[in-house]
Amino acid sequence: MMTAEPRPAEQLSRDLARELSWGLTGYPGNGEVCQIIIGDEASGHRLQLHLGPHGIEVREDSPRPADATVWVPDEIANLLIKEARSIDLRDRRIHGGIRYEGNPLLVTRMGQALLRPSPEVKAVYEAAEQRAGRHPAVTSIERVHRPSVAVIRAAVDASRPLVATGLLDHCLPGSWEALAQQVSGIHIEPQSLGRALPLSEFMGHVLARQAGGPTYSEGCMLPPAFLGAFRLAFAQNGALPLGAPQLWAGASDSSQAVTGLHRDPVNGLLIQLLGRKRVLMYSPLERDNLYPVTAYNSFQNCWVEPLKPRLEVHTKFKRARRLEVELAPGEVLLNPVGWFHCVVIDGPTFSVSVPIKGRTN
């Protein structure tokens, strides 16, 4: 991690407030207040961000109690401002150096508001929108039985999602117990948990929905060897090179999305192994109707929540054209680069996402 040149706490706090205000552009606030203290806890410089439905107001002195307070050491504040394009908020040197109390979701919003995209990532999304515009509008998501590499590549080139069936017939686990045996020895580390645990133990928490135990994997990384047990026919011999897998497993109900609306700068596959998963998808051409955030590094979230939209704030969302698909065990969703999507589950589910290596624009 690079070392940024130090600046006085007062200047740091104002710079940080400016960056946060830009990153929160379009945020549909409900009057939340976040207090940020730069430097020493007792004598550091303080400011408050008031998040209203029509904008952000920065105050240095306010009688309103804060919904969340964040203490940021000088050196970390410098890094957050200087390295916004490459900073990883999960880095323990950052995560462990910042202290907060109050609303954790509001604190997370503050952290995300500091992210900035690189020109390369922005170019990927622009290319995805141009590609989608060159082809007929997608009105449904086709299911294709055992598609060839050529079919997959054609769908990628046409910015067209599809669901592949029959690719896992030879190795699909029939139950959670059977899968737990297959993954014996594999450990995972969900971000919010802060420690590693056996994947089989995590699966037990999911099935039991155990109070105090982790019940969603948050896209944590899996060892590449995991895919060896579920080798896809078109990925053999490097015909369709795949990247590192991520785990999306857990239990919830269908009242809210477990993965918020966002888009990724890579073509990807979502491999459904157990349970069912409903995916809501929007073409890259729907961008302006989905209120994407300005602050991001790679994947780009949206302010609108498709299941509970605030239509009085996000008025254009009513125009957005949505596609839906429900994945059953053994099905694989091709998610082309730049397609907005969110995920809804009802009950225990286990799936793995994996990026397709190669050109994205």
pLDDT at 2: 46
> What percent of the chain clears pLDDT 90, i.e. is strictly above it?
50
DSSP assigned state of 230: G
CATH number of the structural domain spanning residue 180: 2.60.120.650
> Does residue 298 form part of some domain?
yes
Residues 89 and 130 in one domain: no
pLDDT at 92: 66
In a domain, 62, yes or no: yes
Torsion (CA) 324, 129, 153, 229 in degrees, nearest 10:
-60
Q: Do residues 314 and 174 both lie within one domain? A: yes
Residue owning tokens 């302006």? 288
Helix (H) or strand (E) holding 210: none
Are residues 47 and 137 part of one domain? Answer: no
Q: pLDDT tens digit string along 94-151? A: 767 888 999 988 988 888 898 899 999 999 999 999 999 999 999 999 999 999 989 9
Amino acid (one-letter) located at 129: E
φ, ψ of residue 334 to 5 degrees: the values are -85, 120
Residues 225 and 166 in one domain: yes
In this structure, are 93 and 188 located in the same domain?
no
CB proximity list for 9: less than 8 A, separation 6 or greater: 38, 39, 44, 45, 74, 77
203 plus 251 within the same structural domain: yes
Q: Is 257 exposed, middle or buried (0-12, 13-18, 19+ CB in 10 A)?
A: buried
| 47 and 137 fall within a common domain | no
CATH code, domain carrying 37 = 3.30.1050.10
- Report pLDDT for 237: 55
In a domain, 29, yes or no: yes
Better-scored residue on pLDDT, 40 or 304? 304
Residues 282 and 348 in one domain: yes
Q: Are residues 125 and 251 in the same domain?
A: yes
**Residue 274: is its pLDDT beyond 90?**
yes
Mean pLDDT, the chain, integer: 87
Domain match, 102 and 141 both: no
Q: Is 269 inside a domain boundary?
A: yes
Q: Residue 15's domain spans which residues?
A: 9-112
Q: How confident is the model at residue 360 (pLDDT cuts 50, 70, 90)?
A: low
How many residues belong to the chain? 361
Does residue 200 contact residue 173 with C-beta atoms inside 8 Å? no
Answer whether residue 2 is part of any domain. Answer: no
Question: What is the count of structural domains for the chain?
Answer: 2
Nearest C-alpha neighbor of 218 from the set 246, 245, 242, 183: 246
Instruction: Show the DSSP H helices in 24-166 as ranges.
Output: 74-82, 92-95, 104-112, 119-133, 149-157
The amino acid at residue 30 is N
If we measure between CA atoms, which residue out of 293, 310, 311, 294 comes closest to residue 302? Answer: 293
How many whole angstroms separate alpha carbon 131 and alpha carbon 285?
10
pLDDT at 343 over 50: yes
